[in-house]
């Protein structure tokens, strides 16, 4: 094939000497020309090691730029990249390895931690430096390029199959919302086994000719320093609301040093409107959005402080080329303002799950719409508002109760760091809420005071009937609360 086979190759021809990537851990940096060449050298190493079309290449490693080269190397030979969550237990990782059945496993010290054998990333990188780049070939845009395992918050993880077309459509969707240009520079310390770390931090920058800076992880003081460093020139940063709160709580937090950011982008958990408006008052846009492993970027708030302030708590607007519907339990379309399940259809949406035909069939309706499992509503202006996960909803006294609504009501409580609600069986009401609260250190929370706080903010039937104080909520690598684990923990407390 003559010319570029992906946007990385295109940028290497459009602006070969422009900055593409920097790794803050190793100190290495690349122009578009050198990063494109390195990706083709990684492809050559994989081919030499016997990796063929459709084979899986798994990685177990903390963030580093070579993981992106590994992904592009896989795509350029038709292989499938499978990044694994190094925060999982050895047994959980072993299950993922068995499910993916990779022909090659690559990693760092995390391999030994998981009692897993494999090839060191450094060895692959060293070999790549000695290889001639693999000549460009025609990439199959609709063939799987990536398997991302879901977080498994309610059961065994599923391997989401994503094609290059899916990934570049996500890049387009976010680049429109995020005002991504050649001057944009992303700081990536979200884990690269997650769609945000591997895709949304990387692909939009490459599509628009910007750059990205790779960090080995989030450490609030260090991340804050990097966001404020004019030499790094960071313009875009992704985080979950808990990370944003930690940045603001750091003693060195100075809004004036962050105002050159295009925006901070948050998602993955409910974000209190009061916290969003606090960032806006400091002159820093914090744009909430909604995404998922199965579809990448689904929605995002405009990068506009007045709009963010007037729609604080919204997950934003739906991009072009992605269709969204809100439906009730019988599949009927609901009008603006009414809550129901969100279904989506578009070029960024997965074709299904790896070796899970039943799960794939269950995920889509007969017309190819993906059931997200999220309860949402759309207002008259087209803004999406997430209500809760469909599976988290419970029915108390005949009324639907959404835990996220209760959690959001307590998000601004000055003595609460975080909380989560699950529905539990109750002889009188069928189900009631059990709330787990993590208080500010040194604060003692009394249940009567919490009741008073909630009674002025929620209907009585929504108020939990049971209450537990915890040191921390169980979370997965993406920062989401593990409700299944929480249910087990609270069940043990009730017994």
Structure-model confidence comparison of residues 468 and 137, the more confident one: 468
219 within domain boundaries:
yes
Q: What is the mean pLDDT of residues 313-325?
A: 95
pLDDT above 60: residue 81: yes
The per-residue pLDDT for 477 is: 60
Query: To the nearest whole percent, how much of the chain has pLDDT over 90?
Result: 73
| Tokens read off for 213 | 């800076």
Domain hosting 69: range is 7-385
169 within domain boundaries:
yes
Paired strand residues for 23: 214
Task: Identify whether residues 408 and 267 lie together within a single domain.
Answer: no
Give 27's contacts (C-beta < 8 A, 6+ positions apart).
none
Task: Identify whether residues 157 and 244 lie together within a single domain.
Answer: yes
Contact at 8 Å (CB) between 432 and 423? yes
Contact at 8 Å (CB) between 394 and 443? no
| Tokens read off for 69 | 């080269």
Domain limit, last residue, from 366, 385, 404: 385
374 within domain boundaries:
yes
**In angstroms, rounded to a whole number, what is the distance separating the alpha carbons of residues 308 and 80?**
38
Structure-model confidence comparison of residues 486 and 282, the more confident one: 282
Domain limit, last residue, from 344, 364, 385: 385
Question: For 103-120, what is each residue's pLDDT tens digit?
Answer: 999 999 999 999 999 999
Q: What is the Cα gyration radius of the chain?
A: 23
Give 98's contacts (C-beta < 8 A, 6+ positions apart).
none
Q: Give the CA diameter of the chain.
A: 72
**In angstroms, rounded to a whole number, what is the distance separating the alpha carbons of residues 284 and 67?**
31
- 3-state SS class at 226: helix
321 within domain boundaries:
yes
Task: Identify whether residues 440 and 322 lie together within a single domain.
Answer: no
Q: What is the mean pLDDT of residues 336-340?
A: 93
**In angstroms, rounded to a whole number, what is the distance separating the alpha carbons of residues 109 and 65?**
16
Task: Identify whether residues 272 and 322 lie together within a single domain.
Answer: yes
pLDDT above 90: residue 305: yes
2 within domain boundaries:
no
| pLDDT bucket at 461, cuts 50 / 70 / 90 | confident
pLDDT above 80: residue 316: yes
**In angstroms, rounded to a whole number, what is the distance separating the alpha carbons of residues 323 and 402?**
25
Please give the sequence-ordered ranges of beta strands (E in DSSP) within 215-339, or none if there are none: 236-239, 263-266, 286-292, 296-300, 322-327
| Tokens read off for 141 | 């845009």
| Tokens read off for 116 | 């897993």
Structure-model confidence comparison of residues 138 and 350, the more confident one: 350
The per-residue pLDDT for 46 is: 98
Task: Identify whether residues 304 and 194 lie together within a single domain.
Answer: yes
- CATH number at 60 reads 3.40.50.12780
420 within domain boundaries:
yes
In the chain, the number of structural domains is 2
Select the highest-mean-pLDDT range: 109-123, 136-150, 386-400: 109-123
192 within domain boundaries:
yes
Task: Identify whether residues 338 and 412 lie together within a single domain.
Answer: no
Range with the poorest average pLDDT among 103-107, 224-228, 455-459: 455-459
The per-residue pLDDT for 151 is: 66
Q: What is the mean pLDDT of residues 59-79?
A: 97
Contact at 8 Å (CB) between 200 and 174? yes
443-468 as b/e: b if 16+ CB within 10 A: eebeeeebeebbeeebeeebbbebbb
Task: Identify whether residues 265 and 247 lie together within a single domain.
Answer: yes
Instruction: Please state the pTM of the whole predicted model.
Output: 0.84
- Residue of 161, 154, 180, 181 whose CA lies nearest to 370: 161
Tokens 């909520």 identify what position?
473
Phi, psi for residue 455 in degrees, rounded to 5:
-60, -25
**In angstroms, rounded to a whole number, what is the distance separating the alpha carbons of residues 88 and 69?**
24
Task: Identify whether residues 191 and 95 lie together within a single domain.
Answer: yes
1 within domain boundaries:
no
| Tokens read off for 80 | 């499938």
The per-residue pLDDT for 494 is: 61
Task: Identify whether residues 480 and 446 lie together within a single domain.
Answer: yes
Contact at 8 Å (CB) between 370 and 314? no
The per-residue pLDDT for 444 is: 85
Task: Identify whether residues 397 and 271 lie together within a single domain.
Answer: no
Task: Identify whether residues 378 and 401 lie together within a single domain.
Answer: no
- Residue of 261, 259, 247, 290 whose CA lies nearest to 184: 261
Domain limit, last residue, from 385, 405, 422: 385
- CATH number at 487 reads 3.30.300.30
pLDDT above 50: residue 153: no
Tokens 């708030």 identify what position?
301
Task: Identify whether residues 87 and 122 lie together within a single domain.
Answer: yes
């Amino acid at each position: 094939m003559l010319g570029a086979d992906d946007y990385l190759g295109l940028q290497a021809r459009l602006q070969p000497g422009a900055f593409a990537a920097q790794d803050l851990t190793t100190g290495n940096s690349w122009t578009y020309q050198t990063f494109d060449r390195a990706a083709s050298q990684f492809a050559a190493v994989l081919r030499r090691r016997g990796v063929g079309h459709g084979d899986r290449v798994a990685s177990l490693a903390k963030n580093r730029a070579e993981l992106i080269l590994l992904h592009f190397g896989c795509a350029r030979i038709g292989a499938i990249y499978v990044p694994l969550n190094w925060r999982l237990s050895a047994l959980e990782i072993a299950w993922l390895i068995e499910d993916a059945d990779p022909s090659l496993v690559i990693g760092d010290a995390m391999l030994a931690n998981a009692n897993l054998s494999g090839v060191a990333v450094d060895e692959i990188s060293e070999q790549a430096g000695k290889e001639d780049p693999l000549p460009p070939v025609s990439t199959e845009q609709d063939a799987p390029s990536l398997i991302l395992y879901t977080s498994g918050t309610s059961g065994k993880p599923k391997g989401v199959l994503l094609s290059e077309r899916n990934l570049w459509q996500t890049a387009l969707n976010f680049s429109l919302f995020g005002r991504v240009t050649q001057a944009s520079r992303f700081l990536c310390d979200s884990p690269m086994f997650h769609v945000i770390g591997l895709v949304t931090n990387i692909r939009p920058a490459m599509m628009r000719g910007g750059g990205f800076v790779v960090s080995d992880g989030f450490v609030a003081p260090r991340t804050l320093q990097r966001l404020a460093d004019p030499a790094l020139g960071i313009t875009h940063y992704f985080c979950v609301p808990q990370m944003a709160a930690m940045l603001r709580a750091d003693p060195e937090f100075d809004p004036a040093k962050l105002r050159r950011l295009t925006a901070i982008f948050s998602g993955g958990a409910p974000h209190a409107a009061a916290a969003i408006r606090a960032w806006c008052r400091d002159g820093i846009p914090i744009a909430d959005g909604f995404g998922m492993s199965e579809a990448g970027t689904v929605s995002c708030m405009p990068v506009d402080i007045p709009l963010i302030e007037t729609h604080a708590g919204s997950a934003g607007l739906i991009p072009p080329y992605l269709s969204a519907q809100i439906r009730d339990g019988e599949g009927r379309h609901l009008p603006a303002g009414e809550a129901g399940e969100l279904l989506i259809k578009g070029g960024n949406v997965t074709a299904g799950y790896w070796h899970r035909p039943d799960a794939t069939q269950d995920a889509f309706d007969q017309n190819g719409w993906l059931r997200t499992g999220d309860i949402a509503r759309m207002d008259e202006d087209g803004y999406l508002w997430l209500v809760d996960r469909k599976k988290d909803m419970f029915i108390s006294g005949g009324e639907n109760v959404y835990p996220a609504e209760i959690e959001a009501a307590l998000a601004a409580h000055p003595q609460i760091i975080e909380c989560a609600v699950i529905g539990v069986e109750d002889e009188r009401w069928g189900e009631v809420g059990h709330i787990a609260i993590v208080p500010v250190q040194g604060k003692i929370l009394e249940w009567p005071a919490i009741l008073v706080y909630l009674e002025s903010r929620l209907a009585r039937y929504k108020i939990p009937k049971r209450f537990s104080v915890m040191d921390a909520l169980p979370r997965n690598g993406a920062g989401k609360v593990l409700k299944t684990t929480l249910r087990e923990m609270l069940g043990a407390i009730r017994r």
